[in-house]
Structures are given as C-alpha cells and as structure tokens.
A and B are shown apart, each in its own frame.
Chain A
C-alpha cells in the first residue's frame, strides 16, 4: 500500500511559529536536567575565554523548540501512528538568554522503503530556527517513520 499524501506539500512552509523568548532560567533548567557542567554554558568568567565570549545555551538546547505538527493533516497515514526516528541538526549560531526564537518548518522529503520488518515510510520535516535578528541559529531535520 502506497503512502497517501499530497505531493504538493513538499517544500511548502506549513508553519511559522510566533517568537518564543528564551530566558536565562530556561537555559539553567535545561543544563540542570542534563547534568551540564561545561563552563561555556554555565560559568560567565570561563565562557568569556571560550569561542562565544559569553555564556550561551548548550547546542542541544535548540531541540527544545518544538516543530509544528500541522503537516500531519496532509499525511493521513502518518496520523495513524508514527515513530520519532531522529534528528539531524546543523548548529549555525548559539542561542543566548533574551533571544526571541522562531521556527519556520516545511516537509523536506517523504519516501518509502521496504526492510526486514516490512514496508515503511519516512517523513523529514525541516525547521529553520531563527533569532530576533533573523539570523539562522540552526537547521533541524525532524525524522519520522511509520509502517505502511
């Protein structure tokens, strides 16, 4: 059974989020939750000597910005149960406390593959993460998969 979807959704932006403010407390909470002790992310004096010149969020903090889910509406089979398959992230600029973050998301690709466990489909949603200066902070590819 082929995946039922409208191919015109590929490449089209399906969501641009409202800006989300990043607070210093959120970055601290994230650091605490993953046991972060790296001085570039936790220590002002040490961070000044590092590549960013000040405390920034750990790179993986970028994954806490949620991509939209509206593309589900256009991929009926996906709505019947898919799995989160992974993330590919390119880090362009660090996130700092006080940033206003926006995600612009589109379906990058959809494909099918048959493996040992049967026919599967794969959906990649690309979110471009930007700050208040319209600078790209990161590109995040959210990969999902499901059974056909």
Chain B
C-alpha cells in the first residue's frame, strides 16, 4: 500500500507505509506558525541572529510545529477511513532547521480489529537520514455515518 490513503481499517496492515512526504519549511512558514500558535515572541523560532546568540545554528522550528505536522500526516492518512487521532507521543531529538529538505514518514506498527485501532510510528527525517523528531500515535477508526 502506498500509504497515501486508507479506505477502511480492514485494508490496513502492519508495515504499511505512511508517506514519505517531502517537507521543506521556509523561514516565513515557521514564523507564520509562531504567529498562529502564540510563539511570535520567542526569538529562537523567528530570528537567526538572536537564535545564534542562544548557541543555535540559526532559527529553529518549534517542537510543537513539528508535532503538528506529524499529527497532520497521521490524520491525513486516517481521515478517509474515518480514523481519529486519539493519542500521540512525540520526542524532539534534534532541532529541526528551516530550509532543509526533510521528509515526513512512518508506518503501521499494530492493528487491533477488536478495538478498531491502529498504532503508527512517524518521524521527521533530514537529508542525512537522521530522525529529528519521532512519534508514536494511536488512531481509532469509527464506522462511517
């Protein structure tokens, strides 16, 4: 399965790919997220020079933005099969730098037909294959109305 869309829980199998989806975060996109998420006043997310004064290589992507993009990949994948995100656990392993060629991807790790749930692993990876942010999530599939 391409992992682009799932139509029903019955179609989902352990090992199914989710993504990969290319991810390029322009600095202005990160600033737009900061404006939308109440982080506009945090220089490490919005200003290269001020971020460098904190010892960072430049402005970085807020962890919550990375988490939101990971969550979106899961909900994009699950929505066609009426799947709701009910739990997610994210780990920020390394800073996500804007203006790099990243990818969002993952796969299904568990399917429980009696509980109508699937577990997935998702991560953001950089050009070198390093996993910068990792996550596990649980999706609950409801019968379609």
Genuine A/B complex: yes
A interface residues, Cβ below 8 angstroms from B? 26, 29-30, 32-36, 38-40, 49-51, 58-61, 63-64, 66, 83-91, 143
Question: A36-B72, A38-B76, A50-B82 in contact; A86/B36 too (CB < 8 A)?
Answer: no
Chain B 73-91 interface residues, beta-carbon cutoff 8 Å to A: 75-76, 79, 82, 84-91
Top 8 closest pairs, chain A to chain B, by CB: A60-B71, A60-B68, A29-B36, A86-B91, A33-B36, A33-B33, A88-B89, A64-B37
For the complex, give the distance between the alpha carbons of A129 and B67 in Å: 18
- Indicate if the CB atoms of B75 and A59 lie closer than 8 Å: yes
The number of residue pairs between A and B whose CB atoms lie closer than 8 Å in the complex comes to: 94
Q: Which of the residues A34, A83, A85 comes within 8 Å of B69, measured between beta carbons?
A: A34
User: Can you pick out 5 interface pairs between chain A and chain B where the beta carbons lie within 8 Å of each other?
Assistant: A34-B72, A51-B82, A59-B84, A64-B64, A84-B92
- The answer to the question of B47 belonging to the interface, with a C-beta cut-off of 8 Å to chain A, is no
Distance of A56 from chain B, by nearest CB (Å): 10
- Given contact pairs A63-B67, A87-B64, A35 touches B37 in the complex (Cβ within 8 A): no
**A89 near B87: Cβ-Cβ < 8 Å:** yes
Q: Verify if B49 is at the interface (C-beta below 8 Å from A).
A: no
Are the C-beta atoms of A26 and B71 separated by less than 8 Å?
no
Q: Contacts of A49 on B, CB cut-off 8 Å?
A: 145
Residues on A with C-beta less than 8 A from B90 are: 86-88
Contact of B88 among A34, A50, A51, A88 (CB under 8 A): A88
Asked if B65 CB lies within 8 Å of chain A CBs, one says yes
B14 close to chain A: CB less than 8 A: no
- CB contact under 8 A between A86 and B63, given known A29-B35, A58-B71, A60-B72: yes
Which chain B residues border A38 with CB–CB below 8 Å?
72, 75-76, 79
Partner of B36, one of A26, A40, A59, A89: A26
The chain B residue sitting closest to A46, CB to CB, is B79
| CB of B101 closer than 8 Å to a CB of A | no
Q: Write out the residue numbers on chain A whose beta carbons fall within 8 Å of the beta carbon of B68.
A: 30, 34, 58, 60-61, 63
Q: Are A35 and B72 in contact (CB under 8 A)?
A: yes
In the bound complex, residues from chain B placing their C-beta under 8 Å from that of A30 are: 36-37, 68
A64 with B38: CB separation less than 8 A: yes
- A8–B71 Cα gap in the complex (Å)? 35
Contact at B92–A85, with CB atoms within 8 Å?
Answer: yes
CB distance from A147 to the nearest CB of B (A): 13
Return chain B residues, CB-CB under 8 Å to A29.
35-36
Complex CA distance for A105 and B70, rounded to whole angstroms: 25
CA distance A66 to B75 in the complex (A): 23
